[in-house]
Amino acid sequence: MAEDGGNKPLREIAKAFEDLALTVNSQDDSLLAVAPFSHACTLVSPLFGCLGIAFKFAERDYVAKVKDLCDASSSISTLQAVLEQDIQAKTVQKPGSHTRNLLRVKRGLDMVKVLFEHIILTEGDSLKDAASNAYSQVFAPYHGWAIRKAVAAGMYALPTKAQLLRKLNEDENTAKVYMQSYVTSVDAVVRNVDKLYLSKDLGIDW
C-alpha cells in the first residue's frame, strides 16, 4: 500500500469496528448485517499487504472470502441468515460456502487482533515476535507443514514497526490508540460470530 498523507487506514478500521461493536452490544445478536460487516472487513485487507510475503497467503485468502461476503450482502441481510441458508442447503462446510468463508474471515480479524495486542505491549522495532505469535495462535493450527514453513521463512522479511507505521500514516502513540480501539471492538464482533456458529451447533474449529 502506497504512503499517502491523506490515507489513515487504521482510523477507518477502528471506526468501522466501533460501529459494529455498538450494534452487537445494543441489539439482538441476529441483527448484525452482512453489508456493514463485510465493508468493515474490506478495510482490514491492506494490513495483510503491509506485512509482506509472510502473510501473502492470508491476504489472498482473506480478500477473496471478504469479496464473497460483500457479494452475498446484496441478497442476504444478516449473518444469521447466511448460516441458516447454508444449513438448509446442507453446504455449511463445502468449500466456497458463505458460512465457511465467514469463519475464515473471522479468523483473519482474530489474527490482526492478536497482532495488535502484541504490538501495543512490545517494545522495540521488530514485528517478528508479534507476527509469529499471532500466526501461531490463530492460523497455524489449521495449516499444513508446507504453509507453516513458508510463513516462518517469510517472517524474516517483515517490515519494522517504524516501516509499518509509516505505511499506516501514524506515529507510535496514535497507532496504539487506534489499534486498542480495534482490539476492543473486534473482540465483541468476533464473540458475536462465534456465538452464532455455536448456537447452530456448527462449531468454530474447522
> What per-residue confidence (pLDDT) applies to 54?
87
Do the beta carbons of residue 139 and residue 107 sit within 8 Å? yes
The residue extents of the domains of the chain are 9-194
With cut-offs at 50, 70 and 90, classify the pLDDT of residue 81.
Answer: very high
Report which of 35, 39, 40 is spatially closest to residue 18, judged by C-alpha positions: 40
> What per-residue confidence (pLDDT) applies to 4?
44
Do the beta carbons of residue 114 and residue 137 sit within 8 Å? yes
C-alpha cell at 49: 499487504
> What per-residue confidence (pLDDT) applies to 15?
97
> What per-residue confidence (pLDDT) applies to 3?
47
Average pLDDT over residues 136-161: 93
C-alpha cell at 164: 509499518
> What per-residue confidence (pLDDT) applies to 193?
95
Phi then psi for residue 145, to 5 deg, are: -60, -40
> What per-residue confidence (pLDDT) applies to 57?
84
With cut-offs at 50, 70 and 90, classify the pLDDT of residue 7.
Answer: confident
For residue 2, pLDDT over 60 is answered with: no
> What per-residue confidence (pLDDT) applies to 28?
58
| DSSP letter for each residue of 79-105 | HHHHHHHHHHHT-TTSTT-HHHHHHHH
> What per-residue confidence (pLDDT) applies to 98?
98
Note the pLDDT tens digit of each residue in 195-206.
999 999 999 999
Note the pLDDT tens digit of each residue in 18-71.
999 999 888 655 578 999 999 999 999 999 989 988 888 889 999 999 999 999
**3-state class percentages of the chain: helix first, strand second, coil last, to nearest 5:** 75, 0, 20
Architecture of domain 9-194: Orthogonal Bundle (1.10)
3-state SS string for 25-55:
HHCCHHHCEHHHHHHHHHHHHHHHHHCHHHH
> What per-residue confidence (pLDDT) applies to 129?
95
> What per-residue confidence (pLDDT) applies to 1?
38
> What per-residue confidence (pLDDT) applies to 90?
97
What does pTM read for this prediction?
0.93
Average pLDDT over residues 70-83: 96
- 112 three-class SS: helix
Note the pLDDT tens digit of each residue in 100-148.
999 999 999 999 999 999 999 999 999 999 999 999 999 999 999 999 9
